[in-house]
Amino acid sequence: MEKRTFKMLSIVVPVYNEDRYLDTVIGKVIAQPLPDGLERELILVNDASQDATWDIMRSLPDKFPSIRFQLVNKPVNEGKGAALRDGFAKVTGDIVIIQDADFEYDPADYPKLLQPILDGKADVVFGSRFIGEPHRVMYFWHQIANNILNLLSNMLTNLNLTDMEVCYKVFVRDVIDQIKIKSPRFGVEPEMTAKIARMRLNGKRLRVYETGISYAGRTYEEGKKIGWKDALSAIIQIIRFRFMD
């Protein structure tokens, strides 16, 4: 187990119609202490929002002048996968984490998500909403759909993840450089998982860790965007990226 020295954490934030939450969420991300010697950059991708999201995004560098920002304003809405693809292309850090622009995920979980990589144990860390941490009680059928998607993904990737669909995924830069995202929407989660399962670094399979995170899911009235069509699409992507690409 060889520890590496990391200098920069790139936080990639896909954003679509989040003017109610964005400013506060970014404030929490910036307020989260990082391990000594690790700086941060924020890469925000506005996926053609129809509210005041872009105006808020443009105000952030002046509000937090000590933080390095990269802002991307997409003219056409393409979905989370496409926004992540554009964000990953801007990464300059040697560790990368995905952060949603709402209150479902708490940046206070960064330390335990980062630790397996900082300790030299992991190349990728998945958060998990289902292994012991507090979470908001939400929709029963969402949980069933998530369980089915997770089981199918595990069967085809031979991983034993408990939460493949989770937002919080952390990667060393070498992994991100090899992932070429093709799924434009929420199918990006099974796509990345399938590619991580197949990938090699220095001839060896990736070391994948999982750690519990807190979760405060939103209702549709509060702005939740994923729906049953995305679940059907995820099944297609799980099969597609196991046998093709």
Q: pLDDT at residue 181 above 90?
A: yes
Mean predicted lDDT score pLDDT of the chain: 89
Q: Which pLDDT does position 138 carry in this prediction?
A: 61
Q: Which residue, 159, 160, 171, 162, is CA-closest to 212? A: 162
Identify the three-state secondary structure at position 13: strand
Q: Which residue has the higher pLDDT, 237 or 71?
A: 71
What percentage of the chain has pLDDT greater than the value 70? 86
Instruction: List, in order of start, the domains of the chain with CATH numbers.
Output: 8-243 (3.90.550.10)
Q: pLDDT at residue 116 above 70?
A: yes
Q: Which pLDDT does position 43 carry in this prediction?
A: 98
Lowest-confidence range among 50-59, 142-151, 190-199, 212-221? 212-221
Residue 42's DSSP bridge partners are 11, 69
What is the pTM for the complete model shown? 0.88
Q: Which residue, 146, 107, 141, is CA-closest to 130? A: 146
Interaxial angle between packed helices 188-198 and 228-243, expressed in degrees from 0 to 180 and rounded to the nearest 10: 20
**What does the alpha-carbon distance between residue 60 and residue 81 come to, in Å, rounded to a whole number?**
23
Tens of pLDDT, residue by residue over 154-180, are 999 999 999 999 999 999 999 999 999
Q: Which pLDDT does position 47 carry in this prediction?
A: 97
What are the angstrom distances between the C-alpha of 167 and each of 64, 101, 164?
25, 11, 9
Cβ–Cβ under 8 Å, residues 80 and 98: no
Q: pLDDT at residue 219 above 70?
A: no
Q: Which pLDDT does position 220 carry in this prediction?
A: 44
Tens of pLDDT, residue by residue over 124-149, are 999 999 887 666 656 676 778 778 88
**What does the alpha-carbon distance between residue 180 and residue 113 come to, in Å, rounded to a whole number?**
23
Reported confidence tier of residue 225, pLDDT bands at 50, 70, 90: low
